[in-house]
Amino acid sequence: MSDMSPIYLYDQLTAQGETVRSLKAQKAPKVDIDAAVQLLLKMKVDFKRVTSQDYKAGCPPVDCAISNDHKEAVDGDDQVDPWNVSTTSAKGVDYEKLIVRFGSSKIDEELVDRITRITGKVTHHFLRRGIFFSHRDMHQILDAYENQKSFYLYTGRGPSSEAMHVGHLIPFIFTKWLQDVFDVPLVIQLTDDEKYLWKDLSQEDCYRYAVENAKDIIACGFDVNKTFIFSDLDYMGSSPSFYRNVVKVQKHVTFNQVKGIFGFTDSDCIGKISFPAIQAAPSFSSSFPQIFSGRTDVQCLIPCAIDQDPYFRMTRDVAPRIGFLKPALLHSTFFPALQGAQTKMSASDPNTTIFLTDSPKQIKNKINKHAFSGGKDTVEDHRKFGGNPDVDVSFMYLTFFLEDDEQLEKIRQDYASGDLLTGELKKLLIETLQPMIAAHQEKRKHVTEDIVKQFMTPRKLDFKC
Amino acid sequence: MSDMSPIYLYDQLTAQGETVRSLKAQKAPKVDIDAAVQLLLKMKVDFKRVTSQDYKAGCPPVDCAISNDHKEAVDGDDQVDPWNVSTTSAKGVDYEKLIVRFGSSKIDEELVDRITRITGKVTHHFLRRGIFFSHRDMHQILDAYENQKSFYLYTGRGPSSEAMHVGHLIPFIFTKWLQDVFDVPLVIQLTDDEKYLWKDLSQEDCYRYAVENAKDIIACGFDVNKTFIFSDLDYMGSSPSFYRNVVKVQKHVTFNQVKGIFGFTDSDCIGKISFPAIQAAPSFSSSFPQIFSGRTDVQCLIPCAIDQDPYFRMTRDVAPRIGFLKPALLHSTFFPALQGAQTKMSASDPNTTIFLTDSPKQIKNKINKHAFSGGKDTVEDHRKFGGNPDVDVSFMYLTFFLEDDEQLEKIRQDYASGDLLTGELKKLLIETLQPMIAAHQEKRKHVTEDIVKQFMTPRKLDFKC
């Protein structure tokens, strides 16, 4: 759960170039200048590896083809792995193709209907609208559930900064719904160790971000009696069972395999190379003996964005070889940047999306100023030819956050016909997000350190097996 | 701390060949035969990698040149790394050359005298006789000690079986002496995770071996108030501080580096690749907050066999980059097999040395039957030309275990002159080892599960800083 997107690398490189120039201008000690230049060169090598292009100042890698170090990344122009998501299509990644490439299954009407039937609850609009669009073994989870055999949920977040944005909420909103309708326990992994390994951050910062992010996650409404949130830096050192499972996975995955799956190279640190086992281990119920009393046969269901699938393909490959059940998965699409669906969200640029800390005014300004529009250049043309909701980011955001199907469909039709103008569409989104974010902020305010501690303490959870 | 010696691989391969033949003879299911053949082929590849020779049944790799996958293994015929120690010389590895190759320092008379002066105790015969022959930064440890700045000791063992042999005791006997004369705390790492990763053993077995081995280690007489023994499988999951230090090391070592140091390949599992960080972490006092109250500035002194040095060269390289002190080291020579000094001991062949479980009769028989002799073929020739104590394994063993310098020197002279016959020399060794092993067995009997638990519980130790 990391970002090494071309744009991120480009920004870092540009900043480093400025550092070097400034050191030279200040006539800084030679050793400092040399160190800064060394880092610059290393970053250029990384940039070239990811983008297949040489870095040019002032020329960001918008349309660059992504180099395919690893097997996963070959299909048209879409690149999807845990550190890079990009496409050249304004509609976003081609998810139908992704299902074929990843070998997962489509969440079709039959599956959605079955979930509705079994839970007896209105199905979440993320399912109805194909925001969760792909799965692995979900029917198996439902078969067992119908036979009174329960399961547990596992999702996670890489805490790379204090600030979370609305896109980060998608898996948590959906997981909360799953927890409610199936009444099952949930474990949430905060990969602070991964962020430390991948980014230029201290362990203390990564851990602090983990705790801060936990507050936003708790604010989504999870049941403390059914939810365990853990920082890797803490839990690895608090659970011999968890470490034992990590080592089991590490014994059964070779460097060749992680190279193929994740594109690691010989220059990567050994922490990165072995990390996938740490994201795999929570998929096995024996990693949480305090919850499952040492049982190895409670199956795991993982709701996550599709870019995390490589971790769990690896996990599913290893599971039977170490005597464990394969986790099932539900995959979501990506949440688009305000600027368009070509790239995944990044927490490092405040203007690329709406953050959970944004004020009503900031929300309004960002949407009005930055949300890519599918409308026409003039009001006249828009009235005459209509807008394109498929590439309009405001409309995309509404599909995530406006629950009323009929209202959404009416907006779509009105925008396509030209009855609804871009400014009006943006206003609808602003009016949807402002109260939602304000409510989140209000809930987060009530998440005290004590409550965080409760959620993050390894303990027994309510679990009917 | 592992053995992948050519002989070990050869024996495993031979056994696997027999398994395949027997399965075929029994007309076993095809899937079973195929699996056994697959394993056989894999073992042949490993064998070739280590020995640069094709496996031939009935033709053990006694004199084979060792292939040098990694940088460390190029010097005459000696190969020394954590998994392979071999030489073609009957006198054993050329330690003078090793000091030059590894870049360590010789333990000279001046250092031995200084230790005697500072501790005010008779120096251990392992130091007097060059059994501990090489060091890194020992003067720095002594400088600080003289200035009332204490240090701690760290040593370890890879628990690959229940049975330990006398050679395994060398670092522990010496470490116990260091603990006594310097009055410092000691941590002992049992790398059960490493054994699980490297060998075809279950985690349960590796952990059980760790606990059994701990009993033999405790029987060496360590002070429970100053000694913490830990299994990695347990301690990694019991100490967030330990894991944090492991991840720090893992962030600062690349695959390229461990490939160069340890000869790992792309086909190695990711657990092996990241393991060196786990052996590195106990070198830092902050890995044991319960002992050092979170202090990062208590220096570590590691007594170990020289084959473990690659781990600690890596550790010393990383230490300053993560804000920690480099550990100091004291290196021992290898304990020879009864059959000669050409290979390191292996716990897998009972006849290659004296085990801590051997009866007086077994000790007598093994020495008489297997101990390689430096004597002449006939009594007449021996009386006339004398024996060669430099290649005589019984004499080598006496240098380890006969404390009386004068008696040892007399034996050496008498054997070299021909006054002492091989049978008489062997008798002297038998009479030295029989009471020593019996005493060890008696002490081990009194090591109860409770005592083991005390030693293996993370807790405060006596420590005067």
End residue of a domain, out of A304, A337, A370: A337
**Residue B239 touches partner A, C-beta closer than 8 Å:** yes
Domain membership of residue B129 (yes or no) is: yes
Contacting residues of B for A261, CB less than 8 Å apart: none
A269 and B256 within 8 Å at the Cβ level: the answer is: no
| Residue A455 is assigned to a structural domain of this protein | no
Q: What is the CATH number of the domain that holds A127?
A: 3.40.50.620
Task: For residues A32 and A108, give the distance between their C-alpha atoms in angstroms, rounded to a whole number.
Answer: 58
Q: Say which residue the tokens 């495993």 belong to.
A: B12
Residues A142 and A208 in one domain: yes
CB B345 within 8 A of CB B352: yes
Asked if residue B278 and residue B139 are part of one domain, the reply reads yes
Q: Does A243 touch chain B (CB under 8 A)?
A: yes
Q: Does residue A461 fall inside a structural domain? A: no
pLDDT for B304-323, tens place per residue?
A: 999 999 999 999 999 999 99
Is the domain of A212 the same as that of A261? Answer: yes
For residue A14, what are the domain limits? 6-62
Arithmetic mean of pLDDT, A119-132: 96
| CB-CB under 8 Å, A239 with B250 | no
**What pLDDT is attached to residue A78?**
76
Q: Is the predicted pLDDT of residue B64 greater than 50, yes or no?
A: no
What gap in Å lies between CA A464 and CA B225, rounded to an integer? 45
**pLDDT number for residue A7:** 62
Q: Which residue in the set B240, B248, B269 is minimally distant from A250, CB to CB?
A: B269
A131-140, A368-377, B18-27, B233-242: range with lowest mean pLDDT: B18-27
Lowest mean pLDDT among A133-137, B208-212, B342-346: B342-346
Q: Is the pLDDT of residue B35 over 80?
A: no
Q: Are A269 and B247 a contacting pair at CB < 8 A? A: no
Mark whether B69 and B210 lie in a shared domain: yes
Q: How confident is the model at residue B45 (pLDDT cuts 50, 70, 90)?
A: confident
**Of the candidates A337, A370, A405, which is a domain's last residue?**
A337
Q: Does residue A247 sit in the same domain as residue A301?
A: yes
Q: Which residue has the higher pLDDT, B73 or A260?
A: A260
Mutate to test the interface with A, among B202, B239, B255, B296 (most CBs of A within 10 A): B255
* Phi, psi dihedrals of residue B183, rounded to the nearest 5°: 55, 60
Dump pLDDT digits (tens) for A228-243. Answer: 999 999 999 999 999 9
Same domain, A37 and A111: no
Pick from A316, A306, A313, A337: which is nearest to A81 by CA?
A306
Shared domain check, A409 and A289: no
- A279 close to A83: Cβ distance less than 8 angstroms: no
Residues of B in contact with A233 (CB under 8 A): 240, 243-244, 247
User: What CATH number has the domain bearing residue A379?
Assistant: 1.10.240.10
Position A13 scores a pLDDT of: 81
**Same-domain pairing of A34 and A78:** no
- Domain boundary (B315, B337, B359) is at B337
Q: Is residue A1 part of a domain?
A: no
Which band of pLDDT confidence, cut at 50, 70 and 90, is reported for residue B24? confident
The pLDDT value recorded for residue A72 is: 42
**Closest chain B residue to A247 measured between Cα atoms?**
B271
Give the distance from residue A94's alpha carbon to the nearest chain B alpha carbon, in angstroms.
Answer: 33
- Render pLDDT for A197-230 as a digit per residue (tens, 0 to 9): 999 999 999 999 999 999 999 999 999 999 999 9
Note whether residue B461 is domain-resident: no
Q: pLDDT tens digit string along A58-68?
A: 555 543 322 23
B294 lies in the same domain as B199: yes
| Among candidates A234, A268, A274 on the partner chain, residue whose Cβ is nearest the Cβ of B271 | A274
B460 lies in some domain:
no
Contact B273 A270 (CB under 8 A): yes
Q: What is the pTM of this model?
A: 0.83
Return the pLDDT at A166.
95
Residue B318 lies in a domain: yes
Cβ–Cβ below 8 Å for B270 and A267: no
Do A25 and A151 reside in the same domain of the chain?
no
Return d(Cα A425, Cα A422) in angstroms, integer: 5
What pLDDT sits at residue A64?
30
B253 interaction partners in chain A (CB closer than 8 Å): 269-270
Residues of chain A with C-beta less than 8 angstroms from the C-beta of B259: 266
Whole-angstrom distance, CA of residue A411 vs CA of residue A432: 13
Q: Is residue A357 part of a domain?
A: yes
Domain count, chain A: 3
- Average pLDDT (B434-447) is 98
* Residues B99-127 pLDDT 10s: 999 999 999 999 999 999 999 999 999 99
- Among chain A residues, the shortest Cα distance to B272 is held by A251
pLDDT exceeds 70 at position B138 = yes
Residue type (1 letter), A249 = V
- Give the pLDDT of residue B69: 35
My answer on whether B41 and B122 are in the same domain is no
Q: pLDDT-based confidence at B426, cuts 50/70/90?
A: very high
CB-based contact, B250 to chain A, within 8 Å: yes
* pLDDT over 50 at A71, yes or no: no
pLDDT digits (tens, 9 = 90+) for B357-372: 999 999 999 999 999 9
pLDDT band, residue B50 (cuts 50/70/90): low
**Rounded Cα gap, residues B393 and A252, in angstroms:** 41
Residue B290, pLDDT above cutoff 60 = yes
B247 and chain A in contact, CB less than 8 A: yes
CATH number for the domain including A20? 1.10.287.10
**CB within 8 Å: A240 and B234:** yes
pLDDT tens for A21-40 read 778 877 777 777 877 887 78
Pair (A440, A312) in one structural domain: no
Close Cβ partners of B350 (under 8 Å, ≥ 6 residues apart) = B163
What is the torsional sign of CA B390, B391, B394, B397? positive
B238 with A234: Cβ contact below 8 A? no
